Amino acid sequence: MINGIIPLYKPLGLTSFGCVSKIRGIVHQKKVGHSGTLDPNVDGVLPICLGNGTKVVDYLMATGKTYRGAITLGFATTTEDLDGEIVAEQHDFKPLTDAQIKTGLTHFIGSHIQTPPMYSAVKVNGRRLYDYARHGETVKRPQRTIRVTDFYQIGESIVDWNAGTQTIFFEVDCGKGTYVRTLAVDFGRYFGLPAVMSQLTRIASGGFDIQQTVALETLEDAQQAGQLDQFVYPIDHALHAFAHVDLTAEQWMQVQHGAFLPASDLQTTEAEIVLRYNSSDKALYYYDESHQRYKPQKMFSLE
């Protein structure tokens, strides 16, 4: 079994699950997952976890994501992007200045409550929201707290006087669970204008940037040539933010049996640490301050 992470370039038109299915066919194993869904009309970085790499999905997602895209003012759609039906139009507005755009984007930096769009994969009562939407049903959507670290304009906006639209190009750094489509709509709403997300590319996720990604076709060729390993990053890539402590053989034996370890033996009091016996055997432990010892959180030993 292959264990690790592949920074895949997800092409337009393919679902994230479709990417997982194709990777399963390439590596000939079922234990494959992704860290963060991308809509079919969004391309970019999609970290794929193989084997025991699936255990670090949460840690990859916790690193945050960066997107580059476009917001078009002048109309709104059911899906908050260009795939949906138009539900509102306003084409006689005065185009926003760069100063106004900066004010609007900056407004969304920080923590906010966001309601996911109806056309999304969020589950309510066991059903995806997009399933309700496709059947014309309404349901109360769960709100979530999102965090936007940065949100700013890149390049000049484009005004289409014939169509009565203005397209603004942006880059955004945000945490897990953020719907950039909804950010685009909310940006327009801030100015009292209908808006859609008209283009989006994820340029960074899970500690990978788009320059590090590899295409499905390249992976297929590498597998046939017996060179797939060069595109597989170790599981430890997702754990680099944690302090690492090397263990003796005796300590590792204790860890394998779920033992608690005194902080004095490990000479650290970090909140979470990776205990390492060799390149393959690792475990994530958390600090129990009240008892001054470390307790097991997750094992990453290879099968």
Q: Which CATH class, in words, describes the domain spanning 65-202?
A: alpha beta
Catalytic residue among 39, 81, 186, 236: 39
CATH number for the segment(s) 4-63+207-237 = 3.30.2350.10
Please tell me the distance from the alpha carbon of residue 37 to that of residue 17, in angstroms, as a whole number: 8
Lookup result for tokens 């670290």:
149
pTM, to two decimals: 0.88
Cα–Cα separations (whole angstroms), residue 70 to 29, 37, 43, 120, 167: 37, 19, 13, 19, 6
79: which 2 tokens?
Answer: 């899906």
Quick one: pLDDT at residue 131? 86
Quick one: pLDDT at residue 303? 46
Please tell me the distance from the alpha carbon of residue 45 to that of residue 31, in angstroms, as a whole number: 20
Please tell me the distance from the alpha carbon of residue 128 to that of residue 109, in angstroms, as a whole number: 28
Burial 15-37 (b: 16+ CB within 10 A, else e): ebeebbebbeebbeeebbbbbbe
Please tell me the distance from the alpha carbon of residue 199 to that of residue 181, in angstroms, as a whole number: 9
Give the pairing type, strands 86-89 and 75-77.
antiparallel
Which amino acid, 49? Answer: C
* Low-confidence residues in the chain, pLDDT < 50: 303
What tens digit of pLDDT does each residue of 45-75 get?
999 999 888 888 888 888 889 999 999 999 9
What are the DSSP E strand ranges found in 175-302?
Answer: 195-205, 208-209, 243-246, 261-262, 272-276, 282-288, 293-299
Query: Does the active-site annotation cover 186?
Result: no
Q: Where are the domains of the chain?
A: 4-63+207-237, 65-202, 242-299
Quick one: pLDDT at residue 98? 97
Lookup result for tokens 């859609």:
196
Architecture label for domain 242-299: Roll (2.30)
In degrees, rounded to 5, the angle at the alpha carbon of residue 244 between the alpha carbons of residues 242 and 246 is 165
4-63+207-237 matches 65-202 in fold: yes
Quick one: pLDDT at residue 301? 64
